[in-house]
Chain A
Amino acid sequence: MKIETKLIVSNIVNGAFIILIGFFAFQNMNLVLTKLRFVEIADDLNASFLTMRLSEKNYFLYHDLQALGEIREKIDSTEMTLEAERSNIIPAIGETDLRKLEDLLRAYGETIGAANGTVRPSDEQEARIRNEGRQLKEYADSITQLERKRVNEIILSSKRILIFSFWAILVSALLISHFISQKIVQSLRQIEKMTRSISEGNFAQVATGRPRDELGTVIDAVNHMSEELAHREEQIIQSKKLASLGILTAGVAHEITNPLNNISMIAQTYDELYRNLSDEEKTDMMQKVDAETERIRKIVKNLLDFSKPKDANPREESINEVIQKTLTLVQNMIDVQNIETTVKLDERLPRVFVDEDQVQQVLVNLVTNAVQAMHAGGRLFISTRGGKGNGSVEITVKDTGKGIAPEYLPHIFDPFFSTKGEGGTGLGLSVSYGIIKNHGGEIRVESKVGVGTTFTVELPIHHLAKERTNG
């Protein structure tokens, strides 16, 4: 269910609850009003009954016939009141009680009527009048008291219901908001985790327990973006390679100049001296031309190999050989800058399952960065050694360049982060990072401003081999 729907539903439920309680409270209020109206009437009636009983007493004590008339009058007026207020009384006490009251009143009236004109009623008559009068008064009292009690009860229960519903609404609102924010926070965390892993170059999809709501949609979008990025990464790797190629080509052009000059000088010398040359000398010169041509061919082939877009093709390679091949590509760039290179390769290294082309690209990037960080006369150290527990190999590229400021260090593997101004695309190290990650390896950097920078690449020996058998 969408979060929006959940919010609407929970609000509707809470709202309906509040309306229900309001309606209930309204009903109770009405009931209380009715009962109060009755209590008012009942007070009047009680007053009348009290008067009746007083007149009754006067009649018995003073044998005053006028008192009987007064009782009669009160009975009539009370009957009229009961009749007139019928619609107000019935809802409060019900028809049965009203009829009972009317019956009692009528009986009393009849007994009083029977006593009419009798100055001295018989004992039996007196007892009956007293009895019925008392019954009437008591009954009216009991009803009134009962109604008062009921009014109290209704108000109390209304109060209780209001207090209960206040807590119920509060708790449900808290629960709902807690639940929803929990859900949002959870999903946001998931998205945060995804984007973090994407920024590290890991484009794996995150699909675990994807909720079917807006956040699910966001996760879908991030997943889609991740897929696209994985696709683009290949293009970025290739375009970055072409960018490195630009730098390499300049160096390689110089590299070719030496064998070219050799061939040219042999040709010129031959042309000038061929009459005086022995057959052996001629053969030797031609063989040298051939060897120098081979030298050029190798350089060009390395460059072409490097530039060709290739599908990832991991094989068992000697990391040392990969480094040597890379050096033929970058040697000239290093020489132009008058940089002294020290290469120290551990000959006992095991072969490593890697994509040679990609690892070469990482090395070209690292060496190019190192050379660009140094002024003429810097020193470049390239070395290999066995990594942790002999399960990996470690390549170190160290320069004596200007170093990287500590505040830039955490960002140097971020895409498009560059400190080279217009010269850098900010992709070299991020592409390198991606390549090494794909190999299950690690690339680390240490740097001190003014002292130099060391990049360490650690490649596990079997990672890609395993990937291949698994995948």
Chain B
Amino acid sequence: MDKKRIMVIDDEKIVGDMAKMSLEQEGYDVETFLNAEPALARLKERAFDVVVTDYKMKGIDGMEVLRMVKKEYPATTVIMITAFANLDAAIEALRGDVHDFFPKPVKIKELKASIRRALEKVS
């Protein structure tokens, strides 16, 4: 069986780097992006099982990514992380059918567990 494919979008480079190191350890295929435009372009080329995106980004932001992914690739799970622990943002994201919503600082174990649950649900 193919490796599950995970995309991480965050304008903080370290977030992508650490998530990649940690998630690859679990056997996932991980690609990281610093902003949404190239990430969305990449989605057109390859299907991803899970997209982990930052909420607040320059240009296209996390909510926009969520909407576009849900519209174009309904099978893909979206998990959102954010530095703004803001209730309104969380509610908005949940309405947009986000799988999970993590405030920063992110607990990597919880993120992994969330990804696992999402993949189990799909399969």
Number of chain B residues whose Cβ lies closer than 8 Å to a Cβ of chain A = 20
Q: Which residues of chain A in 248-267 are interfacial with respect to chain B, using CB atoms and an 8 Å cutoff?
A: 254, 257-258, 260-266
Cβ–Cβ contact A262 & B21, under 8 A: no
Is B105's beta carbon under 8 Å from chain A?
Answer: yes
Cβ–Cβ contact A273 & B83, under 8 A: no
A231, chain B: closest CB distance, angstroms: 41
Cβ–Cβ contact A266 & B14, under 8 A: yes
Is B19's beta carbon under 8 Å from chain A?
Answer: yes
- A265 and B19 in contact, given A272-B25, A272-B108, A338-B61 (Cβ under 8 angstroms): yes
Cβ–Cβ contact A261 & B105, under 8 A: yes
Cβ–Cβ contact A260 & B105, under 8 A: yes
Is B37's beta carbon under 8 Å from chain A?
Answer: no
CB contacts (< 8 Å) of A254 on chain B: these are: 83-84
**In the complex, residue of chain A having the shortest beta-carbon distance to the beta carbon of B104:** A261
Bound together, the chains give a CA A93 to CA B15 distance in angstroms of: 131
What 1/0 mask marks residues of chain A from 104 to 127 whose CB sits below 8 Å from any chain B CB?
Answer: 000000000000000000000000
Bound together, the chains give a CA A272 to CA B15 distance in angstroms of: 15
Number of chain A residues whose Cβ lies closer than 8 Å to a Cβ of chain B = 20
**In the complex, residue of chain A having the shortest beta-carbon distance to the beta carbon of B81:** A261
Bound together, the chains give a CA A261 to CA B109 distance in angstroms of: 14
Among A257, A260, A263, which residue has the most Cβ atoms of chain B within 10 A?
A257
Among B22, B83, B108, which residue has the most Cβ atoms of chain A within 10 A?
B83
Cβ–Cβ contact B22 & A273, under 8 A: yes
Bound together, the chains give a CA A95 to CA B106 distance in angstroms of: 133
CB contacts (< 8 Å) of A261 on chain B: these are: 12, 15, 83, 104-106
Is B56's beta carbon under 8 Å from chain A?
Answer: yes
Cβ–Cβ contact B12 & A269, under 8 A: no
A210, chain B: closest CB distance, angstroms: 60
CB contacts (< 8 Å) of A262 on chain B: these are: 12, 14-15, 18
**In the complex, residue of chain A having the shortest beta-carbon distance to the beta carbon of B107:** A268
Cβ–Cβ contact B14 & A288, under 8 A: yes
Chain B interface residues toward A at CB < 8 A: 12, 14-15, 18-19, 21-22, 25, 56, 61, 83-86, 104-109
